[in-house]
């Protein structure tokens, strides 16, 4: 093995085989020994390459080159496929299902292939917006577009947080509102519809691997617990607690959407039926032998169709009613407004029936396992009976109606204070502002003293009538000098006797 030592920290060159390339060995900026192939068999070229390696590490060590930024740049040059492998591992470690991970990966690949991206540094917001525009032109729903944008945005956010990209390139991407373009609206199963569905299905023949009573039991469990199809599929006999006063079903976190254990209480009648269903099963055996995922809705629709036929035939004795029933939406899978009654609608029925029964919104949220009360109110808020009327009915208690207070014209005929309608009326009602003390001596003091002892009565001035200055007994008008404030005279349009006095 050929080998060459380079002194003074210039690195070492060696070969692992005589005809192989030269291998450079040196210390990086963290002081760790590192080996890199020069990819050449030319000794002189290899010496220049190892010198470049050593120089770069010296610049990183002294801070001339940002080692972290350089590492991010190297990561950004990796292919999208290589990063997707790490992203799959991250989703799996977070407890995501295999289906969810596969769906996210497919969405990310679809966006990348449409834009021709091969490395993550090529991802940009303009390309994602163009892809979303194509989906919209293809009449994809807002929810479908949102799901795909969520996948690629989550991938880029993970790249930025893990220092594989300098920043998140899709931070400016706005998400469409799925409520503005909702393609699949679900409706609840009416109580009358449930009565017909239950009676007809119990007497029907087996299909989709379940007998009629087993299908009714499955539907009843879905309505009472609000569990999803996948959650019902995961139930085993060991997860049923049916012997207590308050029977319940436990769905483990690995099967729920929010990855939390769900304890759903059921009625005693349903508990008795479930106890008979699992009486001969082992603790690990599934409670329901459900059909494949995409056949569950077909099973329910088939039972709905049979129940609708029976409901229509029951009106044959009444010709008018028999002609009317086929035109209604009773027990139909899709009504005239496009609302669907599929298996997931049984979960919607659970929340709707609870709201109609007058349950508290927080209780409905707990049963439905919604993350926020806002989601519960947005979905079932219109079904809570009398909430607005009850709230308004309590307003008189919170805000008692004030009693009307009579307002007096002058406030001089009663000693009790009255609240004024205007701040300027306060001094009038309290007897203030009706007296003015002279700042100087009167010319005719005798007349003024007599005047003070026996005030003169004045007639009420009519509206629009001019009021003249008063002359005292001296024959001289009492006019204020430059240092005196003018006297205040009270007038009113009401026919009451007004008095004034001067002290």
pLDDT in tens, 393-425: 655 655 556 666 665 555 555 544 444 444 444
Is it the case that residue 144 has pLDDT exceeding 80? Answer: yes
How remote is the C-alpha of 217 from its chain's centroid?
A: 34
pLDDT in tens, 358-379: 899 999 999 999 999 998 988 8
Contact 251, 227 (CB under 8 A): yes
Residue 392: its pLDDT value, please? 60
* First-residue to last-residue Cα distance in the chain: 128
Residue 54: its pLDDT value, please? 86
Residue 28: its pLDDT value, please? 85
**Prediction pTM value:** 0.63
Would you state the structure tokens that stand for residue 391, as one six-digit string?
């709230």
Q: Residue 211: exposed, middle, or buried by beta-carbon count in 10 A (0-12, 13-18, 19+)? A: middle
Share of the chain above pLDDT 70, in %: 74
- Mean pLDDT estimate for the chain: 81
CA distance 93 to 415: 83
Is it the case that residue 435 has pLDDT exceeding 60? Answer: no
Contact 338, 185 (CB under 8 A): yes
Instruction: Provide mean pLDDT across the span 10-14.
Output: 85
Q: Residue 169: exposed, middle, or buried by beta-carbon count in 10 A (0-12, 13-18, 19+)? A: buried
Is it the case that residue 432 has pLDDT exceeding 60? Answer: no
Q: How confident is the model at residue 482 (pLDDT cuts 50, 70, 90)?
A: very low
H helices within 381-444, ranges in order?
Answer: 387-393, 395-398, 426-429
What single string gives the DSSP state of each residue in 111-133? HHHHHT--BGGG--HHHHHHHHH
Instruction: Provide mean pLDDT across the span 344-368.
Output: 93
Q: Are strands 248-251 and 262-265 parallel, antiparallel or unpaired?
A: antiparallel
Computed from CA positions of residues 442, 444, 446, 452, in that sequence, does the dihedral angle turn out positive or negative? negative
Q: How confident is the model at residue 62 (pLDDT cuts 50, 70, 90)?
A: confident
Instruction: Provide mean pLDDT across the span 171-182.
Output: 86
CA nearest to 197, candidates 207, 212, 179, 210 = 212
Residue 103: its pLDDT value, please? 95
Residue 372: its pLDDT value, please? 92
Q: How confident is the model at residue 58 (pLDDT cuts 50, 70, 90)?
A: confident
Is it the case that residue 180 has pLDDT exceeding 80? Answer: no
Contact 436, 480 (CB under 8 A): no
Instruction: Provide mean pLDDT across the span 280-307.
Output: 93
Is it the case that residue 490 has pLDDT exceeding 90? Answer: no
Is it the case that residue 210 has pLDDT exceeding 80? Answer: yes
Is it the case that residue 296 has pLDDT exceeding 90? Answer: yes
Residue 68: its pLDDT value, please? 74
CA distance 261 to 255: 9
CA distance 355 to 361: 7
Is it the case that residue 120 has pLDDT exceeding 60? Answer: yes
Residue 52: its pLDDT value, please? 87
Q: Cα 384–220–231 angle (5° rounding)? A: 90
Is it the case that residue 275 has pLDDT exceeding 90? Answer: yes
Q: How confident is the model at residue 130 (pLDDT cuts 50, 70, 90)?
A: very high
CA nearest to 235, candidates 244, 223, 246, 248 = 248
What is the three-class DSSP state of 264? strand
**pLDDT top residue among 417 and 76:** 76
Residue 234: its pLDDT value, please? 93
Residue 150: its pLDDT value, please? 95
Instruction: Provide mean pLDDT across the span 123-140.
Output: 94
Instruction: Provide mean pLDDT across the span 191-200.
Output: 95
Q: How confident is the model at residue 444 (pLDDT cuts 50, 70, 90)?
A: low
385-388: long-range contacts at Cβ-Cβ below 8 A with a sequence spacing of 24 or more? 385/356, 385/358
Instruction: Provide mean pLDDT across the span 276-296.
Output: 92
**What are the Cα distances from residue 433, in Å, to 407, 439, 494, 503?**
18, 16, 19, 13
Residue 95: its pLDDT value, please? 82
What single string gives the DSSP state of each residue in 53-99? HHHHHHHHHHTSS-HHHHHHHHHHTSBHHHHHHHHHHHHHHTT--HH
226 Rama class: left (phi>0) / alpha (psi -120 to 50) / beta: left
pLDDT in tens, 36-53: 899 899 988 998 898 888
- What domains sit in the chain, N to C, each tagged with a CATH number? 3-65 (no CATH), 76-181 (1.10.150.130), 191-233+282-368 (no CATH), 409-503 (no CATH)
């Amino acid at each position: 093995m050929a080998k060459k030592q380079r002194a003074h920290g210039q690195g070492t060159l060696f070969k692992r085989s005589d005809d192989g390339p030269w291998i450079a060995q040196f210390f990086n900026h963290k002081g760790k020994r590192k080996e890199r192939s020069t990819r050449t068999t030319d000794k002189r070229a290899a010496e220049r390459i190892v010198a470049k390696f050593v120089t770069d590490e010296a610049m990183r060590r002294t801070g001339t080159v940002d080692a972290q930024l350089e590492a991010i740049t190297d990561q950004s040059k990796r292919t999208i496929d290589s990063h997707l492998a790490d992203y799959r591992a991250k989703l799996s470690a977070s407890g995501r299902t295999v289906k969810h991970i596969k769906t996210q990966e497919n969405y990310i690949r679809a966006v990348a292939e449409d834009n021709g991206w091969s490395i993550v540094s090529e991802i940009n917001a303009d390309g994602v917006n163009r892809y979303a525009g194509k989906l919209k032109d293809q009449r994809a729903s807002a929810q479908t577009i949102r799901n795909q944008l969520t996948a690629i945005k989550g991938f880029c956010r993970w790249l930025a947080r893990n220092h594989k990209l300098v920043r998140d390139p899709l931070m400016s991407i706005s998400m469409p509102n799925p409520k503005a373009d909702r393609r699949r609206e679900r409706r609840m199963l009416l109580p009358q519809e449930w009565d017909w569905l239950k009676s007809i299905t119990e007497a029907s023949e087996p299909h989709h691997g379940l007998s009629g009573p087993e299908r009714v039991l499955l539907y009843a469990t879905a309505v009472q617990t609000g569990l999803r199809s996948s959650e019902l599929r995961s139930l085993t006999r060991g997860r049923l607690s049916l012997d207590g006063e308050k029977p319940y079903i436990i769905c483990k976190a690995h099967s729920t959407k929010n990855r939390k254990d769900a304890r759903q209480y059921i009625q005693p009648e349903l508990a008795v039926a479930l106890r008979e269903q699992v009486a001969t099963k082992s603790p690990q055996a599934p409670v329901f032998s459900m059909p494949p995922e995409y056949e569950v809705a077909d099973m329910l629709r088939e039972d709905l169709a049979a129940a609708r036929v029976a409901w229509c035939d029951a009106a044959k004795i009444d010709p008018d009613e028999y002609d009317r029933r086929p035109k209604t939406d009773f027990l139909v899978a899709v009504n005239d407004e496009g609302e669907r009654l599929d298996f997931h609608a049984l979960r919607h029925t659970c929340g709707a029936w609870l709201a109609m029964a007058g349950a508290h919104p927080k209780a409905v949220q707990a049963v439905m396992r919604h993350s926020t009360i806002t989601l519960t109110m947005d979905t079932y808020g219109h079904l809570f009976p009398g909430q607005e009327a009850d709230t308004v009915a309590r307003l008189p208690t919170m805000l008692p109606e004030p009693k009307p207070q009579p307002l007096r014209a002058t406030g001089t005929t009663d000693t009790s204070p009255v609240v004024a309608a205007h701040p300027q009326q306060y001094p009038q009602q309290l007897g203030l502002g009706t007296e003015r003390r002279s700042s100087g001596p009167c010319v005719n003091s005798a007349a003024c003293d007599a005047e003070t002892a026996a005030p003169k009565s004045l007639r009420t001035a009519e509206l629009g009538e001019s009021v003249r200055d008063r002359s005292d007994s001296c024959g001289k008008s009492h006019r204020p000098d430059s240092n005196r404030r003018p006297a205040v005279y009270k007038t009113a349009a009401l026919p009451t006797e007004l008095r004034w006095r001067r002290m």
